[in-house]
Chains A and B, each alone.
Chain A
Amino acid sequence: MRNLLAYLYRIRILILFVFLEAIAFTWISASRSYQRSVFINSANSVTGGMLQRTNDVEEYLDLVDQNEKLAEENAKLRNQSEGSFFPLSTDTTTVIDSSNAIRYTYIDAEIVSGSYRKARNYMTINRGSVHGVEKGMGVIGSKGIVGVIKDVSKHFSTVIPLINPSFSVSGRIKNSGYFGPVLWNNNDYQYAYLTDIPRYAKINKGDTIVTDSRSLLFPMGLTIGYIDSYNLQEDQNFFAVKINLATDFASIHHVYVIEDKMKLEVQNLQSQQDPK
């Protein structure tokens, strides 16, 4: 017995070592089990509180990173939302009528960027060659005409709007039938001028200016604007009529691109008239 005790005393370090390791491995096993009713965990008040505080500091220091991550996530979610999908086909309803040939079809579009305060304004719409948009097609909005297609890419097109000095369209006073070019003189996105109206024409304020049948861009009779005021031009023989534009370029969003199915036919015919 004494020998045994002496022996145990000799290996007391080993016994202590095994005992401590046994505790450790018991706790390790317990921490792997699903119950996790473990004595050692950072949920207790001392370590938990300290970790919470460091966590707060870390979170604060990490805000820039977190913001970036949230922004990324937002972008991701936006990518999944309906608005970010780009429809490759547009619904065009065609009415079949054997007594009338279809001349114009409309492609709906949204303005994805645009200016209205510059001296030369441009717009970009989310329709391109895949949707059938071509250079030179007219663009209208719900209230009146908007502009003409300038360049076309696969999915997008640029528009020269009415409020660009390069744009010109043939306009007509709806009541009297006098016509002339409508021009914009880079002052104000709300107004344009109808020029070359003969001085003997009768003009009333508020009269509607519509597209003329001479225009190859638009079907006839679309609203351009309303007469605001009029002056004699410098040559004194013609009026310059100030038009309050029907389209509000500051708020326009949805537009339609007009495809003139007979444009080529008219152009070919006209080019034959030109003696070359």
Chain B
Amino acid sequence: MITARNILSFLVLVLFQVFILNNIDYSGYLNPYVYILFVMMLPVKVPRSTVLILAFLIGLCIDMFENSGGVHIAATVFLAYIRIPLLKVATQKRGEDFLSVKPNKLGLGNLIVYALLCILIHHFLLFLIESYSFRDIGTVLVRTMMSSIFTFVFVLLVQLWNFRKKDRI
């Protein structure tokens, strides 16, 4: 189920995140985390336990580079756990129909809903765990909104680029 393509995208996303996006850091509020695209776009057929472990690994990689202890693991594993329900909400498909859904080939409308849900939940949890208290909830929300916008734009660009590439072939 895990293909060379998955491993490649795992590596590319980690490197892109660590060496490019993590340097954007604009006044501490803009931290786009595009690496979650990896978890979001894993095929539906991949076993949920595998998704959880992969989410754990990619979070571990980001945490190692960011010195963030384990906040990325916590947020990303949670995203991996709720990703199927979110995908169901976004696509409005049930049962047999749902098994044919391909997260990386969603239509634009479904993609926007799915991406927004994933990004907002992940980023909110991430910044909340990072701040380690509900005291700075205002700051957490501001960071969530600002960073989510950027992550969302990146995710859309990556997906549109993927989509067009596949169309041509």
A residues adjacent to B (C-beta < 8 A): 12-13, 16-17, 20-21, 23-28, 30-32, 38, 40-42, 44, 47, 50-51, 54, 58
Which 6 A-B residue pairings sit nearest by Cβ, starting from the closest? A31-B69, A27-B70, A24-B74, A24-B73, A24-B70, A28-B69
Question: Does B67 belong to the interface (CB within 8 Å)?
Answer: yes
Partner of A28, one of B48, B60, B64, B129: B129
Query: Among A13, A40, A44, A50, which residue has the most Cβ atoms of chain B within 10 A?
Result: A40
For the residues of A in contact with B, the DSSP-based class is helix
Which residues on the B side are within 8 Å of A16 (C-beta)? 49, 52-53
CA gap between A30 and B68 in the complex, in Å: 11
Partner of A27, one of B49, B69, B78: B69
Q: A41 and B67 in contact (CB under 8 A), knowing A13-B49, A17-B77?
A: yes
- How many residues of chain B are within 8 Å of chain A by beta carbon? 27
Which residues on the B side are within 8 Å of A31 (C-beta)? 67-70
CA gap between A54 and B78 in the complex, in Å: 30
**Contact indicator A12/B49 (Cβ below 8 Å):** yes
**Contact indicator B74/A25 (Cβ below 8 Å):** yes
The minimal Cβ–Cβ distance linking A194 to chain B, given in whole angstroms, is 70
Q: A21 and B74 in contact (CB under 8 A), knowing A28-B69, A40-B63, A41-B67?
A: yes
Which residues on the A side are within 8 Å of B60 (C-beta)? 40
**Contact indicator B70/A42 (Cβ below 8 Å):** no
**Contact indicator A38/B23 (Cβ below 8 Å):** no
> B69-101: which have CB < 8 Å to A?
69-71, 73-74, 77-78, 81
Which residues on the A side are within 8 Å of B48 (C-beta)? 13
CA gap between A58 and B22 in the complex, in Å: 13
Partner of B73, one of A20, A32, A44: A20
Question: Does B16 belong to the interface (CB within 8 Å)?
Answer: no
CA gap between A183 and B64 in the complex, in Å: 80
Residue of A nearest to B80 (CB): A17
**Contact indicator A54/B64 (Cβ below 8 Å):** no
Can you give 19 A-B contacts (C-beta < 8 A)? A13-B81, A20-B53, A20-B77, A21-B77, A23-B56, A23-B70, A24-B56, A24-B73, A24-B74, A24-B77, A25-B74, A28-B69, A28-B70, A28-B129, A31-B68, A40-B60, A40-B63, A47-B64, A54-B23
The minimal Cβ–Cβ distance linking B122 to chain A, given in whole angstroms, is 13
The minimal Cβ–Cβ distance linking A25 to chain B, given in whole angstroms, is 6
CA gap between A20 and B63 in the complex, in Å: 14
**Contact indicator B23/A47 (Cβ below 8 Å):** no
Question: Does B65 belong to the interface (CB within 8 Å)?
Answer: yes
The minimal Cβ–Cβ distance linking A103 to chain B, given in whole angstroms, is 66
CA gap between A17 and B70 in the complex, in Å: 14
Which residues on the B side are within 8 Å of A58 (C-beta)? 23
Question: Does B132 belong to the interface (CB within 8 Å)?
Answer: yes
CA gap between A40 and B65 in the complex, in Å: 9
